[in-house]
Structure 1
Amino acid sequence: MLCGLNNSLRYSNIYRNTGGIFTDISAGLTGVENRNGADWGDYDNDGDLDILLMGFDGTNYVTKIYRNDITVSNTAPSIPINLTSNQTGNNRINLKWNKSTDAQTLQKGLTYNLRISTTPQEVLKLFLQCPT
């Protein structure tokens, strides 16, 4: 997904990667620029990715959620295995695990949300989103 301004034309485009060739899928998103933001997430908890889009549309600052109603569901990735950790000093810990897989996303495209605390009931101490 790419958002921005080009010669006074605001755009928000989604591109499909087919073997290294990126093609605009003409999703019909509102074009935004100026402190814009876009993110993927399952906002309606139905198993597929929706889009949150924010920015200036030329008249107003907008925030929109685009719901993905496609009938093909995004399957959950496998649970990462072989988690290891080691303390490196200076209050740092390195975490490693084997990459997950799913039917729709390449391993390099998956990210991980980490919740770090000392017990399952503990108030959240640290939350990170990590690439593979």
Structure 2
Amino acid sequence: MNIFDHITRKFGYAFKGLKIAIITDNSFKIHFLFAFPVVLSGFFLHFNRYEWMAIVLSIGLVLVAELFNTSIEYLVKMFTDEYHELAEKLLDISAGAVLMAAIMALVMAAFVYYPYVI
């Protein structure tokens, strides 16, 4: 196998993972849907380069956190369907990471949108 085939296969796995998250995870869909009006408003408000950087990084952070949260949920489900204290902590912490990312994205959005609102 040459390096091109190896890289192509790796990208295939990554896109398959995104597809799984988009199809199966409602939270990922919600975050993705909330990102759409933010991006759309950026075009209408003519965001500058730095505002776009802040918005894209913030959206990306939330989506990446949600992907990790989803993968942790699948990992826990792979090992048990029964209640386990450590599994609960793991799931709660990964959900907390998504919440933290979302809060940080809202703060970033406040900084970006403030001059346009005032």
Q: Same fold (TM over 0.5)?
A: no
Bigger CA radius of gyration: 1
Larger helix fraction of residues: 2
Larger strand fraction of residues: 1
TM interval, short-chain normalised:
under 0.3
